[in-house]
Amino acid sequence: MNAVGARFITITAYQLPATEGFRLEYHWDLEGTLLGFTYDLIDKKIDSIFDICPAVDWIEREIYEGYAIEFAGRPYQPLMLLEGVTPGVNLREAPTTEVAK
């Protein structure tokens, strides 16, 4: 996408019904035309595009924390999670670790 001058917009992530996994939608702007690329994930893992598009940094980390989807091949630094909280706070099932109050 960088080679043709497309501009990264964001990634939308959501959990599919039952045990169908997750869906990621990558959104790009190419000269005023919005492009979307959809990926269905069963195992909660996808290659990161951070090395070729640094603009994905924040959203990949948000998706990791919210849905525990791993973006392989990139360093990870926490954004919002408190120490000891397991990624996946937006999953339908309860997170496995809770922070003591």
Instruction: With beta carbons less than 8 A apart as the criterion, state whether 67 and 90 touch.
Output: yes
The whole-model pTM stands at 0.82
Through-space distance between the first and last CA atoms of the chain, rounded to whole angstroms: 45
For residue 9, give the CATH number of its domain: 3.30.460.80
In terms of residue numbers, what domain contains 10?
A: 2-72
Model pLDDT, residue 94: 46
Question: What pLDDT is attached to residue 95?
Answer: 46
E-assigned strand segments in the chain: 7-15, 22-30, 33-41, 45-47, 70-72
In a domain, 97, yes or no: no
DSSP 60: H
Largest CA distance in the chain: 50
Number of structural domains in the chain: 1
Q: Please tell me the predicted confidence (pLDDT) of residue 97.
A: 53
Decide if 89 is inside a domain. no
pLDDT along the chain (101 residues), means of 10: 90 91 97 97 94 94 93 83 78 58 50
